[in-house]
Every structure is written in C-alpha cells, then in structure tokens.
A and B are shown apart, each in its own frame.
Chain A
Amino acid sequence: MNIIVEVGYLIATVSFLGGLKFMSSPKRAKIGNIFAASGMVLAVICTFLMVLSNAVPTTNLIIALVAILLGTLLGKRMATKVEMTAMPQLVSLFNATGGGCAMLLGIIEANQSRLTEVPVGIKILLLLGLVTGAVAATGSIVAYGKLAGKTKDKRTKGVVYGSRVLLGLILLLPLIYFIGFVPVPFEIFTYIMAAFALCYGILFVLPIGGADMPVVISLLNSITGIATAFAGFVYGNKAMIAGGIFVGAAGILLTLLMCKAMNRSLIKVLAGKFKKSSAAADEEEQHIKSIASAEIAMQLSFASKIAIVPGYGLAVAQGQHLCGQLQKLLANRGVHIDFIIHPVAGRMPGHMNVLLAEANIDYEHLKEMNEVNDQMSHYDLVLIIGANDVVNPAAETKPDSPVYGMPIIKAHESKQVVVMKRSMSTGYAGVSNDLFGMDNCSLLFGDAKDSLQEIINQLKLI
C-alpha cells in the first residue's frame, strides 16, 4: 500500500516539473497546465489512500471532503468570472489562501505538539512554515487591496519602523526561545509568532507603490512556495517539498527579473524608495507637437511596419480589444504590426501579454523588448499607448535621472513616434520624458480608448 502512495507522489512531483517545463512554449503550455493539475489530483488521491489505510474518525473525513468540495467549486467560480485586467488581484488572493493554509497548518500542529514529544528540528520547521505562510497571507491580502484600488500606499514613519521592528522580533525571538530563555510552552510561543508575522505581512506591503507591484506579487508567490516546502519537511512529504521549492524558485526568478527590468534593487523596492531626482530643478522647456487622430490614421495606412508599445494606461482604459481591431484592420491592408512589451508593463509579470492575447492578437506579434530593440529604425511608426517611463531616452543619456540605467524600448530610434496620453503628467518615476520633445515625436491627448476608437473610425474611411 505504502509503495503505491510513494510512487503516486513521485509521479505527481514529475508532473509538476513537466508542467512547468511545458510552459516554455505557448503551444504546449495548455498541456503543461493539464499535466500539473492531474499531478495535483493524483497527489490528493494518494494522500487519502494513505490516511485511509489507518482508521480515521468519520467526522474528520467528512470535514475534509466537504472543505475540498467547497474550495474547488468556489475556486472554479472565481476563475471563470474574473476579468483579465483583474488577474493580478486574483493571483494575489489565491496566493493569500495558500499562505493562510500554511499558517493554519503550523498553528494546529503546534497545538497538537503538547500531546507528544516533538524534536527541535521539527519545531523549527513548523515555526518557519508558519511565519512564512502568515507573512504571505496578509501580505497578499494587502497587495490584493492595492491592486483592486481599495488600499492606498502608506509610507509613514510608523509603518516603516514598525515593519523593521517586527522583522527584527521575528528573526530574534525564535533564537532566544530555542536557546531556552523564554519559559513559555511551544504552542503559546507559536501563537505569538503568528501574530507578529501577520502584522509584519501587512506593514511590509503597505509602503510599496503601484508600479512595483510585479516585484511584490512575485516575491509573495515565492514566499508561499517556501512555506509549502517547510511544511513538506514536517511531514517528510517529497511532493510538497518539491512543489514548494519549484514555486519558490519561480517566484524568486521573476522577482529578480522584474527588479532588473526596472533597474532597481530588491531592497529599494521593499523600502518603497525612489532615487530623488537631482535634475528636477533644471527642467528644460520642451517643444511639444500635437497631432490629430485623422493624421495618425493617414500615416498608419501608408506605413508598412508599425509597432505599438502598450503600457498599463492601456489596460486601465480597457483599450486592448481596440488594439486587436486596429491590428486586424491594418493587417488586411498589408501593414505589419508588432506589439513591443516591456517586462514590467502591467501590474504583474507578463500581464500585458495576457491582455493582448485576450484581444485575439496572435502571439507571433507579441515581441519582447530585447528581441526588437536593435531593429527599431525599421519601424515607420511607433504608437505608444499608456506607457511612459519605459520609453524615456533619459534612461540612456542622463546619468542623474532617476530612471537612468533602466532598460527601455528605444522607440525614439524609429522614424516616427506618436504618444497617446491622457495629459502631460509624469509617469510613475515622476520624471519628465525627453522623448516628447524630440523632433520625430508627436502627441495625441485624450483617453486611450476614445483615441483608438477614433483612429479606427478614421481608418475605415480611408
């Protein structure tokens, strides 16, 4: 019996790995997802086989089955109802559930530890799992609130120092406890740690601003994975350890990738800090040319190769479907059109790709920044919709600019640039954009969706 369960867990582990491996191409990713999901179902079945080989109380079994049924149904419902623009929120929320599960597991195991003698190693793992789970749970909930626009950024001194003090306590207290200076029972100690970790999760995400969200979500995702791995250690369950570590690795990798794409260190993002602009004083006067939508439509119809650089502003304006329409319209006229996507466009890694895929844009047309940056001069026209900092040439030319060193899409090297913008306000980094003053750049003011609609209407007339 036991060997069947072990082999089941082995197959589950391999299927997780295979599922992730299949994610490396859009064609096979669907199969990969089904693969990983089947592995998960297998792992759950094996678990039931294992627990049922001993006598278990019926009440417990019923509670487990009902909980699984309810969770599955609710999860499916939430997954089918969500809007693609709200994807980052949903992923955060699911992440919070995973963290919450890990935390509850730690608390209950600690409570049960009164009855039997538990080795110190297991106690440490329990604590680690509980603390990471709790931080991920409340952190993800705050991140959810921010992404859904329900929570504002708070960067008061109290929050910053509070989070530092709590972090110190979370790191130090267990040391003191295991040396033996804190004469409280283990379960009471875990409750205290859980409370601290829950508070820390909140304070840790509160000061972090909007465009840094991709970093935070990736990091929290990774923390949940690590919590899972710790719990796996407690039970000696290899499927849990492997699954947790894969998720932890994926999260850390994405976190670092996002940081690199913004040219900011993880520490700075976590501190919610931005390099202050020293050049703010000598603001140069920019000569800005504005352009009418009719003229853009005219230029679009004469061009042969066009690029669109979408930013979060496009998602906010819900303009992605119009982008799809524009692409079809131009493709029918033989105009080649690419979408160039900066790694941090959107509110989570790869978010913009999902939004454009939803608008039925073929993934062959979705280009990564590095793929096309050398060939920017081949584009007759680059339309920038709702993006700002990621096309600012100051990142390459002005060493004292806050965005200096950030990898950008070199839109300014193309023949003609049109920036669609709501107003002259600065981007997230709070700096003016040198691109707007360049000779080959003109601006179209207004809501991205309305402007796109107008361009499409004009284009149909031509």
Chain B
Amino acid sequence: MEFLQHNLELIYFVIFCVFIGIEVIANVPAILHTPLMSGANAISGVIMVGAVIMLMQIPPTNYVLLGLGGVAVFLGALNISGGFFVTGRMLKMFNSKK
C-alpha cells in the first residue's frame, strides 16, 4: 500500500502511456508493420540507460559484476544501433514516384 502511495503519479503515467501508445500504433498501416516492429524494438533498447546507471554503481574492484554490466550495456547498445539502422534501411526502400 505504501509503495502504491509513493508511486501513484507513476501509475497514472503508465496508464496514460498504455492508451497513448495503443492509439498511436493502431494507426500504422500494415505496409509499415515490419519497420514499426524493428523501430519499436530499437526503442526498447532504452533499457541501456538503466544498464549505464547500474554499471556506474558497481564497485570498481568487483570484476565479475563489471564484466556482466559491460555485457549488458553492450547488448543494449547493439539493440539500439542495430534497430535504428535497419529500420532506416528498410524505410529508404519505400518510395513512391507520385
């Protein structure tokens, strides 16, 4: 209960995000579903932000955790860069002469 009370604002935020997200994405036509998915995939790479924050809190002598944290940041960066580059590449192919 206490946890809810402290985070009520965040919970409102989440609920609004869910509805806005669905509204925005429902308008995407089927022709763009693959780029939508890979673009969304890239956006989920924002998890790297969390990984960076976490990595900074690891004591610099704990090499195992540092290694794991480094891998986490690496995976996140791979997700972001790969996702956006491949989406861009796909979208470049969609063109119309009109």
**Residues of chain A at the chain B interface (Cβ within 8 Å):** 12, 16-17, 19-21, 23-27, 29-30, 32-34, 36-37, 40, 43-44, 47-48, 50-51, 56-61, 63-64, 66-76, 78-80, 82, 84, 87, 90-91, 94-95, 97-98, 100-102, 104-105, 107-109, 111-112, 119-121, 217-218, 221, 224-225, 227-229, 231-251, 253-254, 341, 343, 348-351, 353-354, 357-358, 360, 362-364, 366, 368
**Residues of chain B at the chain A interface (Cβ within 8 Å):** 3, 7, 10, 13-14, 17-18, 20-22, 24-60, 65-66, 68-98
- Assess the A240–B76 pair: CB atoms within 8 A: no
Q: List 24 A-B contacts (CB under 8 A).
A: A17-B21, A20-B25, A20-B40, A24-B29, A26-B96, A56-B56, A57-B56, A57-B59, A67-B74, A67-B77, A75-B81, A78-B78, A87-B38, A91-B34, A91-B37, A104-B72, A112-B58, A235-B50, A235-B53, A237-B50, A348-B37, A349-B36, A353-B94, A362-B95
Question: Besides the contacts A90-B86, A112-B54, what 6 more A-B pairs have beta carbons closer than 8 Å?
Answer: A23-B36, A60-B60, A68-B73, A108-B68, A218-B37, A357-B94
Which residues of the partner chain B approach A79 to less than 8 Å between Cβ atoms? 81-83, 85-86, 89
Query: Chain B: which residue is nearest A92 at the CB level?
Result: B41
- Assess the A98–B45 pair: CB atoms within 8 A: yes
- Could you tell me the distance between the alpha carbons of A265 and B72 in the complex, rounded to whole angstroms? 35
- Assess the B91–A101 pair: CB atoms within 8 A: no
Which residues of the partner chain B approach A44 to less than 8 Å between Cβ atoms? 48-49, 52
- Could you tell me the distance between the alpha carbons of A238 and B60 in the complex, rounded to whole angstroms? 28
Given A108-B69, A229-B14, A233-B10, check contact A101 B76 (CB 8 Å): yes
- Assess the B65–A108 pair: CB atoms within 8 A: yes
Query: How many A-B contacts if CB must be within 8 Å?
Result: 371
- Could you tell me the distance between the alpha carbons of A80 and B87 in the complex, rounded to whole angstroms? 10
- Assess the B39–A20 pair: CB atoms within 8 A: yes
Which residues of the partner chain A approach B75 to less than 8 Å between Cβ atoms? 71, 97-98, 100-101, 104
- Assess the B37–A221 pair: CB atoms within 8 A: yes
- Could you tell me the distance between the alpha carbons of A115 and B54 in the complex, rounded to whole angstroms? 14
Which residues of the partner chain B approach A341 to less than 8 Å between Cβ atoms? 30-31
Contact residues of B: prevailing secondary structure: helix
Chain A min CB distance to B10 (Å): 7
- Assess the B84–A343 pair: CB atoms within 8 A: no
Indicate the member of B18, B26, B75, B95 with the most A CB atoms within 10 Å. B75
Which residues of the partner chain B approach A33 to less than 8 Å between Cβ atoms? 35, 39, 84, 87-88, 91
Chain B min CB distance to A367 (Å): 9
- Assess the B78–A231 pair: CB atoms within 8 A: no
- Assess the A94–B38 pair: CB atoms within 8 A: yes
- Could you tell me the distance between the alpha carbons of A318 and B72 in the complex, rounded to whole angstroms? 36
Which residues of the partner chain A approach B57 to less than 8 Å between Cβ atoms? 112
Chain A min CB distance to B44 (Å): 4
- Could you tell me the distance between the alpha carbons of A20 and B41 in the complex, rounded to whole angstroms? 11
- Assess the A251–B78 pair: CB atoms within 8 A: no
Among B30, B81, B91, which residue has its beta carbon within 8 angstroms of that of A72? B81
Q: Which A-B residue pairs are the 6 nearest by beta carbons?
A: A71-B77, A350-B33, A75-B82, A75-B81, A249-B21, A121-B3
- Assess the A36–B43 pair: CB atoms within 8 A: yes
- Could you tell me the distance between the alpha carbons of A47 and B33 in the complex, rounded to whole angstroms? 31
- Assess the B41–A101 pair: CB atoms within 8 A: no
Query: Chain B: which residue is nearest A50 at the CB level?
Result: B53
Which residues of the partner chain B approach A91 to less than 8 Å between Cβ atoms? 34, 37-38, 41, 86
- Could you tell me the distance between the alpha carbons of A229 and B11 in the complex, rounded to whole angstroms? 12
- Could you tell me the distance between the alpha carbons of A249 and B33 in the complex, rounded to whole angstroms? 13
- Assess the A27–B96 pair: CB atoms within 8 A: yes
Query: Chain A: which residue is nearest B88 at the CB level?
Result: A33
- Assess the B44–A247 pair: CB atoms within 8 A: yes
- Assess the A63–B89 pair: CB atoms within 8 A: no
- Assess the A75–B79 pair: CB atoms within 8 A: yes
Chain A min CB distance to B13 (Å): 7
Among A26, A37, A235, A246, which residue has its beta carbon within 8 angstroms of that of B94? A26
Which residues of the partner chain B approach A232 to less than 8 Å between Cβ atoms? 46, 50
Chain A min CB distance to B22 (Å): 5
- Could you tell me the distance between the alpha carbons of A59 and B58 in the complex, rounded to whole angstroms? 10
Chain B min CB distance to A416 (Å): 26
- Could you tell me the distance between the alpha carbons of A363 and B25 in the complex, rounded to whole angstroms? 20
- Could you tell me the distance between the alpha carbons of A87 and B25 in the complex, rounded to whole angstroms? 21
